[in-house]
Structure 1
């Protein structure tokens, strides 16, 4: 005789684990993208410009 009752807990746990694995993979992919972007020369130039702009504003007394 076939079992007619299916435990929903198993399905919930399996779905939760699949979701966590998918989120972990997405987070790892985003971290790798961010690290590659930060290593690029365009990002470093942008940061230098931003820091220079903020330092100019501080020296002029616009930022405190």
Structure 2
């Protein structure tokens, strides 16, 4: 399991988190995973070695 410590994002900075991101239009989950790992962490992953194990969808956070 890969965890990152959030920093300089303005959202839950200092907390441990799984790498996360958003899909670009029409992108499948594995393609999005590989892209986010490359963009956010500088990690190159082989899409053929990736297996989807968990998907979380959340609504936008709204401030009162």
Q: TM-score, normalised by structure 1?
A: 0.21
The structure having more radius of gyration, on CA atoms, is 1
Richer in strand (by share): 2
